[in-house]
Structure 1
């Protein structure tokens, strides 16, 4: 384990199949930081996120995420790593035939929670954080797109992650709703959970000034400008 950062990559090369996507990546994110990840389509943003959540292995260099050594990560370790991460995608991936409560309960049970009272309390806690406690019994189709994305963020918070990885979380939302969602993620970072958010939305990036990391030309550029 390297240091106390939530994410630390040192001289990491990232490959998709045998194609080198990002070369000599050095990246450090600390608890409570909010960081934008930008770059053109195909520049390596998704590959970088896949390394962080254990879907792509690192060939060269050293990496640690939430206390896990990426170089020596086994298939068995991956679910445990992902419990330390909250992952928010552009498409909500909610179970459409289950209520909001049942969607969140499903995740908790899948990650080892057994006590019904603790499960109920945790579900209400995370829905409170995203402003949707009153929607606990609703079905996904009864919620707006912004509300569904808030449920996804609530789901990401269930196991009290050290970092949230948000991959274009506002891609399907209108501008006002997008600002609400990023404002919520920013609040979450201020309570100590780091957030790494991939985005193409320069309006959002200007509205919420934060550290920017840019993927370009097969490399990562730290503290970039837009």
Structure 2
């Protein structure tokens, strides 16, 4: 692995079951990069993300993510890979029966944190980063969709990941809230955490021009910027 390379894929093929979705994929993402991942529904965006976070096994080619070899990745190592990669989904996936604080505490305890003081400090730190320090005690249903997505981003930041993978993070949000979420993800990339955002939202891409990777006709193409 090269020093500042967080994702490195060389000549990989991506399969869903036995169906070839993407072939001969070559991709590098460096520390602190903000990258858009675009393509029509069914073009392979989510499958590519699943390879990166260990949900789809890599059989052909070479791939590294967060310091892990995706080809030789054992099932027992997938949780450790996912600590290096913060994952943000469209549908939030917050635990509805517990507060914002308890949602974040659950993740920290599940990933081996034991010191109550450090847990509390880390939760407050990530909520500060996403502008939600005052929502610590709120239940998910008591906050807006945009605030819930900020909690999800805070959750993704808990273990100081090298990369955040965001799959349609603005899919359930209105345009203004979507822009706020992307601005937040941009800020996170400027602090050194790489961010890869899969989206259908071309308006948001034009608003925040950046490097673009496109899945199309079974291939992955790298564009410098959206035209």
Cα distance in 1 for residues equivalent to 2:103 and 2:19: 37
1:193 aligned residue: 193
Q: Does 1:36 align with 2:42?
A: no
User: Structure 2 length normalisation: TM-score?
Assistant: 0.98
Cα distance in 2 for residues equivalent to 1:74 and 1:95: 28
State how many pairs are aligned: 225
1:208 aligned residue: 208
Deviates most, 216-225 or 27-36: 216-225
Task: Output the aligned Cα RMSD.
Answer: 0.7
Cα distance in 2 for residues equivalent to 1:187 and 1:92: 20
Paired residue secondary structure (1:72): coil
Cα distance in 1 for residues equivalent to 2:135 and 2:223: 39
Report the CA distance between 1:223 and its aligned residue.
Answer: 1.4
1:182 aligned residue: 182
1:44-83 equivalences under 5 Å are 44-83=44-83
Cα distance in 1 for residues equivalent to 2:163 and 2:28: 12
> Can you give the 5+ residue segments of structure 2 that lack an aligned partner in the other structure?
none
Q: Does 1:144 align with 2:144?
A: yes
Q: Does 1:219 align with 2:208?
A: no
Cα distance in 1 for residues equivalent to 2:19 and 2:43: 12
1:94 aligned residue: 94
1:97-136 equivalences under 5 Å are 97-136=97-136
Structure 1 residue runs of 4+, over 3 Å off? Answer: none
Cα distance in 2 for residues equivalent to 1:14 and 1:138: 41
1:8 aligned residue: 8
Paired residue secondary structure (2:223): coil
Paired residue secondary structure (1:56): coil
Report the CA distance between 1:74 and its aligned residue.
Answer: 0.4
Q: Deviations over 1:158-178 (max 9, x none)?
A: 000000000000000000000
Report the CA distance between 1:3 and its aligned residue.
Answer: 1.8
1:159 aligned residue: 159
Cα distance in 2 for residues equivalent to 1:77 and 1:146: 32
Cα distance in 2 for residues equivalent to 1:167 and 1:178: 13
Cα distance in 2 for residues equivalent to 1:76 and 1:94: 24
> Can you give the 5+ residue segments of structure 1 that lack an aligned partner in the other structure?
none
Cα distance in 2 for residues equivalent to 1:190 and 1:196: 13
